[in-house]
Amino acid sequence: MKTQKLEQNWTLTILGENVYHIPEEPIPAKVPSTVYGTLLEQGLMPDPFYRDNELDATKLMENDFAYETDIRPDAALRKEDRIFLRFEGIDTIAEISLDGSILGTADNMNRVYEFDITDEVKAAPEEASLHLHVLLHSPNRFIRKAYAEDPIGGSPEAMPGFPHIRKAACMFGWDWGPRLPDAGLFRPVSLVGYTCARISEVPIRQIHHVTGKTVQGNLVDRVDLAVDCEAEWLPEAEDTPVVAEFVLTSPDGTRLQAVSTPAAAGLHTAPSEDLTGLTTPLRTDHLRLHVTVENPKLWWPNGYGEQPLYRAEVFLHPAGKDTVLDTWTKRIGLRTVSVNTDPIPDEQHDPHMTGQKPDYDDGINRFIPEGDELSARISRDGRKVQPRNFAITVNGLAIFAMGADYIPEDNILTRQSRERTDLLLSSAKEAHHNCIRIWGGGYFCDDFVYDLCDEKGILVWQDLMFSCAAYELDASFQKNITMEIRQNIRRLRSHPCLALWCGNNEMETQYESWAWPVTKKQYYDYIRIFECLIPEMVHEEDPDAFYWPSSPSSGGNFENSNAENVGDTHYWGVWHGNEPFTAYRNHHYRFLSEFGFQSFPAVQTIRRFTLPQDRNIFSRIMEMHQRNSAANGKILNYLSQTYLYPKSFEDLVYCSQLLQADAIRYGVEHFRRFRGTCMGTIVWQLNDIWPVASWSSLDYYGNWKALHYAEKRMFAPVLLSCEEHGEIDQKPFPNSMPKDIDVSADLHVANETGQEITCTVHWSLRNPDSSVVMEGRQNLTVPAFGGVWLPHLDFNGQDPLSVHLSYALEIEESVVSEGASLFCAPKHYHFLDPELTVRRKDDIITVSAKAFAKAVSVETDEGVLRLDDNFVDMEAGERMFRVLPGRDFTDPGDLYEGKTLRVRSVYETAGH
């Protein structure tokens, strides 16, 4: 097998008049690239992320575009029996021609396309070139025309008609993203030559021999690997016998196995046309073998063990010869992963659980009355739904999933790189994330994203690429999505990080709630796609994998899809519902796959897309970079409940981040206190696609918001948390009848490690000047993967506006978890001036305070620093912070050296 990448000497032409008045002339380009990326590199368009430049960039996509190059297959490639032209990613509606003859078309950015150009190459003289022309049609015009013919529903934040095209939905706009539907050849284009036969794919199934079980999971003495090399023979060699050699190398580089299959020849029609569109009549057969790994090193998620990776290689040879026809290489992890959804017939609740409500079958299902519209629902039948588990289980151990939802990292796709994603996922790992959910409104990620998750122990909940829309099934669409899904399952199934496949994002619950008018056909088509076609494909291509029809879901069939006691849940009472942060305590979900709260990005990020006069959250430019229409008002609503009004724009940004961090902390700490009932908290969202106000914990440039620092604390393996009671959850109002306020607290230790821990909890009730009112300590033993409540602390008689509770957990005299809780909103607490000062020596920053200070943040005048901790509560005294390397993928410069440090807390924001 020979490969010749087609990377250089391309041109891009914008066809027709365009918003930037760029002549219809070839522009130098390379591949992979996109239209926006190429024009930016050539200085032909302004940054679409700056101010409101997005608007013109959207208009540019009214045009068609042409990518062109002359290809000269090298001598080694010409000697191969067959030469295929391979496109790894075409975005999206395209027509491909070679020397003026049409090879084919493309209409799905999530698919690989192959074309047999053997005859064209071998008919041309050796020194001749072949002209490759790729015509990309306007995505804007395509969806507009399709929507006019068939106005199917979808997310209102996106351009109407987006479900009609197999392109990342969020490229047409979302409630955190701009309308920048770029186009291009965003993944490699290659000439690939084969002789005799090639490897199509190599699924490897694992059988773990379990000899026992401990609290830390299964004991495994060996793993049997069933290796299935799917080979494809070229028409010229379908009777030629070949063998597959399998080589397994251990994580330390030791060769463990080298085994060959018996010889085989092509006996069956290959499915290539159904996978890549290749029309060459290939033949196929399976070359199978089994190998055993003794004393295996198991792969574990972050926080539960190591991530040893074995290298699996397959070499395809003609029988009796050493010649290598093709190779296949993957890194695999030895592990089992499943999702426990077993019923819980007699569930016993923690006595601290309050507010839990049973779920009832709402009676909505696929049996609907005749008619074009779903004009009637079956009324509730009052059937109580039996609770069920929802727990990701790795190597026999049910883990508590902690992490965030991942969205595409950039609207300009080729800006994403392994190095940039490594920075992002390293930040996730450092904040103790063990899981991400790759959201279904984007596109299937590059291999390196999953490689990095394999290395870092970050499990992947993989949505298929359907989100917040109606999809209608006909023969063409079914064939298109079948090829897309099969290709990507086959590509990704070997990754140990892959935890489950999920059919779509929020479609079941949106159909159920009538988010848009739904026809009878769309209703039935939903069932056909997500509860028939896709699960069948998953079972065929990845038979050991878990499939879940939607997120959220209770298992499908529109049966109370966002239930509390079954399946996964998207909870938005806090934020969209304007409920207080303490509302989380009324719920005990099985698995939260979405919940979130917005904030503004770092001030230095805002400076990069604004002018000084834009820096007001209600300015046109700030609103252009806030795509959730009611969000700024929501931030101010929650701000009014929590803080005194900030004295400056910078302080408002800071307070918005504190609100976000506290909102999520209330939820995560609560759900971790009830491990076993709840087994997952996946926060919406991890990252941004452009500079924007959003739900992310890391802004577009990789800056850690207050939320990400808080996640590092709340996702820690051992967590001390507080359920406080006072004005914070009883909310007296001046005009209400006077009533007594219960001032009290319940401390809890959660242990998400495989070891029983012995620890000491110290608590102290303090005045604003940090002087102690009362204090105590408790020695505890906390079981592995368990939790312990401390005795109730009664502080009645104390003024909830004038005392706060500090607490810390020590193991072997080291503090591993700590915090502080107020009994009232911070705006009502009687803060004293902490008179904060800051000094530095090398990479150590020391902050001094003369009184209790809430949410102490250290940064420079130019922008944020990345520290080992930040936005922390501190008592009077000193606290040290360590400066860490920055994570701004665009600026490797030192944000610390020579800069003036700035420190602030909640007290300073109100202009005292």
pLDDT score of 544: 97
Contact 391, 399 (CB under 8 A): yes
**Residue in the structure block whose two tokens are 């069933």:** 226
Read off the tokens for 91.
């975005």
The mean pLDDT value for 469-491 works out to 97
Could you tell me the fold of the domain covering 397-714? TIM Barrel (3.20.20)
Contact 486, 541 (CB under 8 A): yes
Instruction: Extract the runs of DSSP E, i.e. beta strands, from 40-109.
Output: 64-71, 82-87, 94-98, 101-106
User: Does the pLDDT at position 895 exceed 60?
Assistant: no
Q: What superfamily would CATH give domain 2-193?
A: Galactose-binding domain-like (2.60.120.260)
Q: What amino acid occupies position 614?
A: D
Domain 195-335 has CATH 3.40.630.30: no
DSSP code for 533: I
Q: How confident is the model over 509-521, as pLDDT tens digits?
A: 999 888 777 888 9
pLDDT score of 734: 67
- Give residue 426's pLDDT band: very low, low, confident or very high (50, 70, 90): very high
Q: How confident is the model over 355-374, as pLDDT tens digits?
A: 666 777 655 554 444 443 43
User: Does the pLDDT at position 620 exceed 90?
Assistant: yes
Q: Where in the chain is the domain with CATH 2.60.120.260?
A: 2-193
Q: What amino acid occupies position 373?
A: E
DSSP code for 380: P
Of 681, 673, 459, 679, nearest to 590 by C-alpha is 679
The class that CATH gives domain 719-830 is mainly beta
DSSP code for 530: I
Least confident interval from 113-122, 633-642, 834-843, 882-891: 882-891
Cis? peptide before 32, omega within 30° of 0: yes
Burial of 419 (0-12, 13-18, 19+ CB in 10 A): exposed
Distance spanning both ends of the chain, measured CA to CA: 72
What's the mean per-residue pLDDT of the chain?
Answer: 94
Q: How confident is the model over 17-35, as pLDDT tens digits?
A: 999 999 999 999 999 999 9
Beta-carbon contacts of 90 under 8 Å, excluding residues fewer than 6 positions away, are 106, 109, 113, 134, 136, 185, 186
Read off the tokens for 437.
């959910």
In order, the DSSP letters of 723-766 are EEESHHHH---TTSPP-----EEEEEEEE-SSS-EEEEEEEEEE
pTM of the model: 0.96
The mean pLDDT value for 720-749 works out to 86
pLDDT score of 896: 59
Other beta carbons within 10 angstroms of residue 356's beta carbon come to 17
Contact 686, 406 (CB under 8 A): yes
Contact 310, 333 (CB under 8 A): yes
Q: What angle do CA 378, 381, 383 make, to 5 degrees?
A: 140
**Residue in the structure block whose two tokens are 């800056």:** 703
Q: How confident is the model over 587-615, as pLDDT tens digits?
A: 999 999 999 999 999 999 999 999 999 99
Other beta carbons within 10 angstroms of residue 507's beta carbon come to 26
Read off the tokens for 363.
């009676």
Q: Which residue has the higher pLDDT, 239 or 743?
A: 743
User: Does the pLDDT at position 343 exceed 70?
Assistant: yes
**Could you give the CA distance from residue 585 to residue 354 in angstroms, rounded to a whole number?**
7
Q: What percent of the chain has pLDDT over 90?
A: 86
Of 641, 646, 637, 616, nearest to 912 by C-alpha is 646
Architecture of domain 831-912: Sandwich (2.60)
Q: Where in the chain is the domain with CATH 2.60.40.10?
A: 195-335, 719-830, 831-912
DSSP code for 386: P
